[in-house]
Amino acid sequence: MSQKTTRGQDGNRDHYRASNCPEAALISARVLSAEGAPATRSASGVERRPSAPRPPLNKRGSGSLLSQPAPQSKYLWIRIALFERQLAKIIEHLVNNASRYYERDALVADPDYGSILSSLLVGPCALEYSKAKAPAYFWTDPPADELVQRHRMSAGTTTPPSVRRPILNFRRSLNASSDDGSVVNAGTANTSASSAKDYVESLHQNSRATLLYGKNNVRVQPKDVEEPMPGYLSLHQSAAGLVIKWTPNQLMNGYAESEGIDKSQFRWHLVHVSACPHKCILCSAAPCTVFRQRCAGSLCINCVYWAMSLQVCVWEVVYVHVHRSKASDALILVGQDGVQRPPIHFPKGGHLLSFLSNLETGLLPHGQLDPPLWSQRGTGKVFGRGKIRRRPLPSLCESGESEEPDWEEVAGDYVFRIVNNAITDREAMRHSLLERVVQSPPRTPRRPLASTSTTSSDSSTMSVDCPSTGVNGHTPTPPPNPIVEEVASIELVCSTMRRQIISRAFYGWLAYCRHLSTVRTHLSGLVNPNIISKEGIESGLTEEIWRSMMDNRGVVTDKDEVYRIVYYGGVQHDIRREVWPFLLGYYEFGSTAEERMEQDMTYRRQYETTMSEWLCVEAIVRQRDREATAASIARLTESSGKPRPEITEPNEVFEDDCSVISDNPPIVSPEPSENEQRKPESKPVLSRAPSIDEVDNIELDSEEKEKDVDKLNGETETIDSRDVDSLNDLEEDDKVCIKSVVENPDMRRESIAEIKRLAEGFVQKGEGRGLLCSVDSGNANLNGNDMRSSIDEVQPDTHQQHTSVIITNPSVDLAPSGSPASGGTTANVSPARSPLGVVREESHSAGASFDTLEPSDGRPDNRSNCVSPASSNGGVYSNELVESFALNLHRIEKDVQRCDRNYPFFTDENLDKLRNIMCTYVWEHLETGYMQGMCDLVAPLLVIMKEEASAHALFSRLMHRARDNFPSGQAMDAHFADMRSLIQILDCELYELMHAHGDYTHFYFCYRWFLLDFKRELLYQDVFAAWELIWVARHVASEHMVLFIALALLETYRDVILANAMDFTDIIKFFNEMAERHDASAVLSLARDLVLQVQTLIENK
Amino acid sequence: MAKTYDCLFKLLLIGDSGVGKTSILFRFSEDAFNISFISTIGIDFKIRTIDLDGKKVKLQIWDTAGQERFRTITTAYYRGSMGIMLVYDVTNEKSFENIKNWIRNIEENASADVEKMILGNKCDLDAKRQVSKERGEQLAVEYQIKFVETSAKDSLNVEYAFYTLARDIKAKMEKKQEASNPPGGRSGAHQLKANEQQRKPTSWLSRCSVL
């Protein structure tokens, strides 16, 4: 407290002066900006630190800051410095230069206290305050992390099996039924369970108990351990009185962290329930279940630490001994029975004193330390400065009485007595207990009998037990009955009991049998009947193993072995690219390397052909979009005040073209004149520039042109004769601009860029006019060794295979708006894609504008067909098709843009690939269309395969199974149903909780898990492993591995879920917060164990 | 665990995909903005407790997937919600037009008296704007729903929107309570109900129920 005020006064005085300290300069700049512009602070705060969330100072404090500026701003710099984690550095600077800033007698100028102050602040400055929330938040909705941490500490307290129904494992349940002693044990385990949970709760500041003092790395030497262990010492004030607790760090941190430290001490191993010979002697219940514990011999690992932890009720302590030495300060608590607790070693530096003062404060008003720490000295009012009057331990320190050495410096031994104010009460109590007479319960929560035990459970058990013992003891013995009556009644009781026991046993057995038969019927479909063992698998599929399995032609035959290795060990990352196509069934096992290369090649060609198809449509879509945008913007500017009905909107803007068409489709009479007017002004620009002057390699191919134009005419004729006329008018101009680009790819790239550039210019000039550019992609390299070199001039006979791409002003949407996807696509993709033999460009303004200006709500059959002149499949796309693709395209783009952007792989270039794969797939499956989540499924494949076509191949494979998970399929409901039965059977306790809350047996909280195969739940490298497991599991263990992984996730946190009695919302929140923080390898191995469990169960019919 | 709020309101964010539902939610709950949000799959929710006229109101705000394909899942959450935010993107005409569909969807699936509000998000992108504020207002008038343009990126009106919706829910709730308990005096039944509410604080349905 005093430190704080010191900081405030001294620091405030000086913080402007400390300009030669860089941190201080930074902070004072912040303070100035905060003070100067409180209103705009929120915006500027974001700009300054775009990555970090704004500290709550701004968030919540803006109102209060305005209302009471004076005191707030005085300390504002401290808060800001704390948020910026610079406070310690500033204070250190101040201390080092104290002579300049402070009077000699200032606290900061003191060589000791100054440095203590600055080093004390290092701790607070290490905390991240910007994420801090209102304190209430922590009490009501602890974040998932905290829940997990709390659980780790109380993990030993799983519900004993006697409470559970018989579970899957036979041997286990047989043991339980034969073991009569387990009932007794279960009872104690139960209480220890509940008290341990309370214990964990109570370590945190909560509504029931106030945390008076907490210090970490306080060392205590429990018995059976060679040297003192560090732990967390805390002092709590609860309704029941003061409690001192010490918890080993291993419990505080959870065993995940402690594993490394303690491996030498305990041999831990993951064991299957049935395989573990041990039984924890403390919690007896779960020596080591396969689910969540590791075996550590006679004690389960949690109980080992639990046994070490201390929990002492202060009222049970009579004497507090303090042994001070050079090395450390030790404190020993001695109970009423004279038994000593293990010494508690405090680190040097006043911690012990501070603990004692807190203890003394906490004892008030019912008790006190005798002698008191500092109350009578007057000087002791300053925290930590108290000179202490103490009573030296007579046996140890004879001369101590007269001296009063400085507490901080001198070693010595002291003893305090904890005095209860109602001391006479206690004396009376003792006496009365001896006499077996119970008085009224004591005013204070002090226990009349000292508990000798220090384990966590016992002190709280005592508090319950003592009074009742007293009462029982006091109950007068029943009046003596006639002997006959007694015998009869005892016989009666015995027989009743016998009957009850037998019937219970029978019904238990019956229920168990029924249960098992349900299990078998429900589960037999979920797993494969044969158990394939893990024998001999240590490392997973490494490159070495993989190569050794491959013969010299690259043939891998032993697919079962591959599956088995991958199932148990995964694939080494470097060879994933090679192995995944096998795992997904794209490559056949038994194929040679050559065959696979061939397959790749063919697939790539197919892929490119498909792609060119949809690129055509994309171009049309782009054009429409542009117009729609223009329409909205136009409307926005034109009539901001009076919005019109939406349906007529597109028409209104493009009145000249569209309204006529939509009103009267076949007749376009009013329009052409306009078209012709525009033609002359726009045409020449396009045609002149590139074709002859600038691009040398572009040669005029009049033959080609003629052909195309003829074809074009033929097609357009069917649409609108008027259009054809206009087209024919254009012919002369067209001659110039029809180009065929040949020879090398670089050239082509150039020319495409050129075309784009021109198109841009063209579109700008002849706004709304479509530029038609057909890109023939054929199998120019049918023999295909070097794709590039084989590209020649287009042969007329390859024409049939060609598909065409209409690029309607490709650059308009893209280039200006900076979207990488659209404009770049054609440029990036087509050059790399070799089969593009010829790029021809035609300006076809009349036709294109006619098509694309079709109002989007137009009738499907009003001949608004899109023309692609050289297309092999006729090149006519129905309006319907275009629209549905447009819809998909927009969705894809939206999702691709935000897919895993924080993963470095996804640069714009790779996002483009992702988009292409997605579009191609959707184009092939237009009836299902794009569904959110598909991007997530492609992303990891692309990361591994790196190349579009093969990623697409794998994705198509993957979707065979995954498709059904999407809303259009049925698999999700089946998954939920299976999950329900699995949980019901494997963990009925959890099932009951879910059932009790009623609303989440539908399992929507695992929707995302199944939809994306856990892609969002795990980190990328873990996703790879999980996916491999899922893929190969169908050949090894279970076709529904996803279920078992989901179950494993649920089981991993089952105790957290149970302990907090989570309802549906809690569980959703929990798992959403835990996303990407799971211990994937543990979850996956647990999933395999679960499969094995079910398999064993079914096998043992 | 002690519950430190007086009321729990369950709100829902709906609208086309990519309009910024998650961003709005994130802005409101964490006061932050991230340009690279991933698409929401399934459902998620965030919690923030606000102070409303001296009452601590805990808002549990559900975020849904936008694609209409997922409506079968998201409509399951309509029923329990007390307030619904309809979000569209001012730079996307289509998303605005779809608001009508969303409203129809609400009418079919949500409780009749659910409070609604329309948000025109991304209003910071004025250059790309396709839907004018007036059109938004007009639509709101047509359906008699409150409307505000927001920007999750610039933190514009997000707080206001949620506070307004929460206040409306609260007002409606109080009005209902008053109607069921005529001001003549508090009936015993009401007292009993109040006790009941205190006993089961975990179930939001038992508290502040508007149903």
Q: Which residue has the higher pLDDT, A467 or B59?
A: B59
Contacts A966 to B, Cβ<8 Å: 69
The answer to whether B75 faces chain A, any CB pair under 8 Å, is no
Contacts A43 to B, Cβ<8 Å: 154-155
The answer to whether B7 faces chain A, any CB pair under 8 Å, is no
For residues A1063 and A995, what is the distance between their CA atoms, to the nearest angstrom? 10
Contact A932 B60 (CB under 8 A): no
A627 three-state secondary structure: helix
Contact A1069 B1 (CB under 8 A): no
Contacts B129 to A, Cβ<8 Å: 633, 636
**How close, in Å, is residue A881 to chain B by CA atoms?**
18
Q: Which of A932, A1000, A1072 to mutate to test the interface with B (most CBs of B within 10 A)?
A: A932
A653 three-state secondary structure: helix
For residues A414 and A394, what is the distance between their CA atoms, to the nearest angstrom? 9
Cβ pairs A/B, distance under 8 A: 119
Nearest to A891 among B58, B67, B138 (CB): B67
Contact B43 A141 (CB under 8 A): no
**How close, in Å, is residue B88 to chain A by CA atoms?**
14
Calculate the alpha carbon distances from A428 to A339, A419, A431, A439 in Å. 22, 15, 5, 9
Q: CA nearest A645 in B: which residue?
A: B135
Contact B130 A632 (CB under 8 A): yes
**How close, in Å, is residue B116 to chain A by CA atoms?**
22
Q: CA nearest A997 in B: which residue?
A: B203
Pure H helices in A656-781: 660-663, 670-688, 702-719, 721-737, 745-765
For residues A137 and A139, what is the distance between their CA atoms, to the nearest angstrom? 5
ipTM of this predicted structure? 0.85
The answer to whether B163 faces chain A, any CB pair under 8 Å, is no
For each successive 10 residues of chain A (1101 residues), what is the average pLDDT?
Answer: 41 47 73 54 36 38 39 67 77 79 77 81 71 48 76 54 40 35 37 53 66 82 75 80 80 50 38 48 46 46 69 81 79 81 81 82 75 51 37 39 44 76 54 45 40 37 36 44 75 92 92 77 82 85 91 90 92 94 93 94 94 92 87 74 43 35 37 40 36 38 44 42 43 39 40 46 41 38 39 40 40 37 38 36 37 38 40 64 90 89 89 94 92 93 94 94 88 87 84 77 83 93 94 92 94 90 86 91 93 84 59
Backbone angles phi, psi at A90, to 5 degrees: -65, -45
The answer to whether B113 faces chain A, any CB pair under 8 Å, is no
Average pLDDT value for residue range B104-119: 92
**How close, in Å, is residue A582 to chain B by CA atoms?**
29
DSSP string, A226-280: SS-EEEEEEEEEETTEEEEEEEEHHHHH-HHHHHHHHTTTS--EE--GGG-----
* CA A762 to chain centroid: 49
For residues A787 and A414, what is the distance between their CA atoms, to the nearest angstrom? 91
- Which residues make Cβ contacts (< 8 Å) with residue A449, sequence separation at least 6? A336, A433, A462, A466
Q: Where are the beta strands (DSSP E) in B122-169?
A: 146-149
Contact B134 A640 (CB under 8 A): yes
For residues A638 and A649, what is the distance between their CA atoms, to the nearest angstrom? 12
Nearest to A136 among B4, B66, B138 (CB): B4
Contacts A1065 to B, Cβ<8 Å: 45, 60
B105 three-state secondary structure: helix
Contact B39 A1008 (CB under 8 A): no
For residues A757 and A814, what is the distance between their CA atoms, to the nearest angstrom? 12
Q: CA nearest A630 in B: which residue?
A: B130
Nearest to A891 among B5, B17, B135 (CB): B17
Contacts A1069 to B, Cβ<8 Å: 45, 47
Contacts A207 to B, Cβ<8 Å: 1-2
Nearest to A53 among B18, B30, B47 (CB): B30
The H or E element that residue B111 is part of is: none
Q: CA nearest A644 in B: which residue?
A: B135
Q: CA nearest A1071 in B: which residue?
A: B44
Tokens of A1060: 């907090």
Tokens of A783: 């023999």
* Tokens 């609860």 sit on residue: A238
Q: CA nearest A1068 in B: which residue?
A: B44
Backbone angles phi, psi at A132, to 5 degrees: -65, 150
Q: Which of A133, A140, A150 to mutate to test the interface with B (most CBs of B within 10 A)?
A: A140
**How close, in Å, is residue B193 to chain A by CA atoms?**
21
Contacts A1012 to B, Cβ<8 Å: 41
Contacts B43 to A, Cβ<8 Å: 1004, 1007, 1068
Q: Which of A150, A200, A201, A632 to mutate to test the interface with B (most CBs of B within 10 A)?
A: A632
pLDDT at A196: 55
**How close, in Å, is residue A1019 to chain B by CA atoms?**
15
Contact B4 A633 (CB under 8 A): no
Nearest to B36 among A898, A1002, A1004 (CB): A898
Contacts A59 to B, Cβ<8 Å: 31
* CA A927 to chain centroid: 33
Contact A1065 B93 (CB under 8 A): no
Average pLDDT value for residue range B202-209: 41
What is the model's pTM? 0.55
pLDDT at A727: 42
pLDDT at B60: 93
Contact A891 B155 (CB under 8 A): no
The H or E element that residue A56 is part of is: helix A56-67
Contacts B38 to A, Cβ<8 Å: 898-901, 936, 1016
For residues A288 and A290, what is the distance between their CA atoms, to the nearest angstrom? 6
Tokens of B82: 């007390």
Contact A207 B2 (CB under 8 A): yes
SS (H, E, C) A1039-1076: CCHHHHHHHHHHHHCHHHHHHCCCCHHHHHHHHHHHCC
The answer to whether B189 faces chain A, any CB pair under 8 Å, is no
Contact B17 A967 (CB under 8 A): no
Nearest to B18 among A142, A894, A936 (CB): A894
**How close, in Å, is residue A146 to chain B by CA atoms?**
14
For residues B142 and B139, what is the distance between their CA atoms, to the nearest angstrom? 5
For residues A773 and A712, what is the distance between their CA atoms, to the nearest angstrom? 12
Contact A139 B2 (CB under 8 A): yes
pLDDT at B206: 40
**How close, in Å, is residue A53 to chain B by CA atoms?**
5
Q: CA nearest B76 in A: which residue?
A: A1004
Contact A136 B138 (CB under 8 A): no
